[in-house]
Amino acid sequence: MSKTYRLAAVGFAHMHINHLLDEFNKLANVEWVACADTVPDLPSISMKNSSRGANLRRAHEVVGIPKVYDDYRALLDSESLDAVIFCPENRKHPEVAEAIAAKGLHMLTEKPMAADLPGALRIARAVRSAGVELMVNWPITWSPAVRKAKELIDAGRIGTVWEVKWRNGASMGPLAYGTGDQAFTDDEKAPEWWHHAAPGGGALLDYCCYGACLSRWYLGEGATAAYGLKANLNSPFGDAEDNAIITVRFPQAMAILEGTWTTWNVGVPTGPIVYGTQGTLVVSTRPDPAGGTVPVVEVHTSRGHGLSEPDEVIEGDPLPEGRATLAEEFLHHLETGDPLHPTLQMDLNVEAMAILDAGSRSAASGKLELVNDAIWSIG
């Protein structure tokens, strides 16, 4: 890579911003210019790790972004940039993306693309109109086993796929990982956007989104309808759901997407799991002799009942050199024009958002909702 890229960061509501910035910080051809948060609808009262205030401070003091603006629009007006990484609340993604696109800048955001389908379409139209590039990052994209499962599906290893099942791992919510003096109290969680529906919080967007993206990619066809269910079972400090299920109808298959913030221990493998006419794939991990774990795909092709050992365990291939991280992939795409990994591309993410939108509308209406309804158009 010959060019040095001048980057800014906007929006620190999502704690994944920390990982995004860290990955870019590893590259020699990145120059940090400035950062700014968006204005929250409900201000935080905590500066503990993963809060937006702590994320912004970390960007300045640890990552080393030199300038901190109070207003992200002033940042965009004042600085010469090549691209912007943005992670505000899900509901604010469209307005920030539109402002970035209006300056002719490339952009990268964290999953999900937006809070609903209309928001995703706003982003897509702004990106296309400005002729800039957008990458939507997914942590699962960087799992060699997740990619290997797609290869096995396309090779027909388990026959014709008829179901994809996604359930996130053990999670007690996005602010439940602190310990000691960094643990959030219920009072501190209460004003955080994660636990409120209006800014795009809740387990459906946080975790069912993975299944929406993966099922669309694995099955290779657009979804047609969805039925959704939301429930707040153990998070009285906010009105957003802490559990959600979406069942999705595809033309020749189905998917079950589960998102949970109340699971202490999963008990069984969560996958993703892919069911075919001649077998089953389970994305899992195996102990690494050197310590830790190795992501693998368990291949079950023998008929059986109950739990059984897989017929084969396959490790994923090493990720492509020079494209093994989100930062490398983004800059490689800008440098060469080579397509992004399918899960990172805008159009697939609009379709994933359409699944989530139908599931959310269904949870409100109590009825099956169409995915490809009258507003489903990027152009």
What SS3 state is found at 33? strand
Half-sphere exposure of 296 (CA within 13 A, CB side): 16
Instruction: Examine residue 65 and state whether it is found in any structural domain, yes or no.
Output: yes
Is 290 in the same domain as 333?
Answer: no
Is 67 in the same domain as 175?
Answer: no
Q: Cβ neighbours of residue 33 under 8 Å, at least 6 residues apart?
A: 6, 7, 8, 65, 66, 67, 79, 80, 81
**Interior angle at CA 327, CA 321 and CA 331, nearest 5:** 80
Low-confidence ranges of the chain (pLDDT < 70): 1-2, 373-379
Is 134 in the same domain as 159?
Answer: no
Burial of 305 (0-12, 13-18, 19+ CB in 10 A): exposed
Is 33 in the same domain as 69?
Answer: yes
Q: Cβ neighbours of residue 328 under 8 Å, at least 6 residues apart?
A: 27, 322
Contact 35, 68 (CB under 8 A): yes
pTM: 0.96
Element (H, E) at 215: helix 209-219
Instruction: Examine residue 36 and state whether it is found in any structural domain, yes or no.
Output: yes
**pLDDT score recorded for residue 376:** 54
**pLDDT score recorded for residue 118:** 95
Distance (Å) of CA 355 to CA 13, 185, 208, 247:
24, 33, 10, 10
Among 43, 38, 40, 122, residue whose Cα is nearest residue 74: 38
Instruction: Examine residue 350 and state whether it is found in any structural domain, yes or no.
Output: no
Instruction: Examine residue 379 and state whether it is found in any structural domain, yes or no.
Output: no
Predicted confidence (pLDDT) per residue in 109-140, tens digit = 999 999 999 999 999 999 999 999 999 999 99
Instruction: Examine residue 377 and state whether it is found in any structural domain, yes or no.
Output: no
Is 130 in the same domain as 167?
Answer: no
**pLDDT score recorded for residue 38:** 98
Residue 350, phi then psi, degrees to nearest 5: -65, -40
For position 131, which CATH number holds? 3.40.50.720
Is 160 in the same domain as 107?
Answer: no
| Cα gap 256→165, rounded to integer Å | 5
Q: How many beta carbons lie within 10 A of that of residue 174, not counting itself?
A: 21
Number of domains observed in the structure of the chain: 2
Predicted confidence (pLDDT) per residue in 62-96, tens digit = 999 999 999 999 999 999 999 999 999 999 999 99
Is 331 in the same domain as 241?
Answer: no
Its domain, for residue 25, covers 5-139+323-343
Among 97, 87, 112, 115, residue whose Cα is nearest residue 16: 87
Is 213 in the same domain as 233?
Answer: yes
Is 107 in the same domain as 157?
Answer: no
Q: Residue type for 78, please?
A: S
Distance (Å) of CA 143 to CA 14, 139, 283:
21, 8, 10
Instruction: Examine residue 378 and state whether it is found in any structural domain, yes or no.
Output: no
Is 171 in the same domain as 89?
Answer: no
Half-sphere exposure of 210 (CA within 13 A, CB side): 23
For position 199, which CATH number holds? 3.30.360.10
Instruction: Examine residue 349 and state whether it is found in any structural domain, yes or no.
Output: no
The label of the residue with tokens 């996005």 reads 174
Contact 143, 295 (CB under 8 A): yes
Among 242, 276, 246, 234, residue whose Cα is nearest residue 260: 242
Is 156 in the same domain as 267?
Answer: yes
Distance (Å) of CA 340 to CA 146, 148, 245:
16, 17, 29
Distance (Å) of CA 116 to CA 128, 166, 278:
19, 20, 36
**pLDDT score recorded for residue 373:** 55
The label of the residue with tokens 């080393």 reads 64
Instruction: Examine residue 334 and state whether it is found in any structural domain, yes or no.
Output: yes
Is 213 in the same domain as 153?
Answer: yes
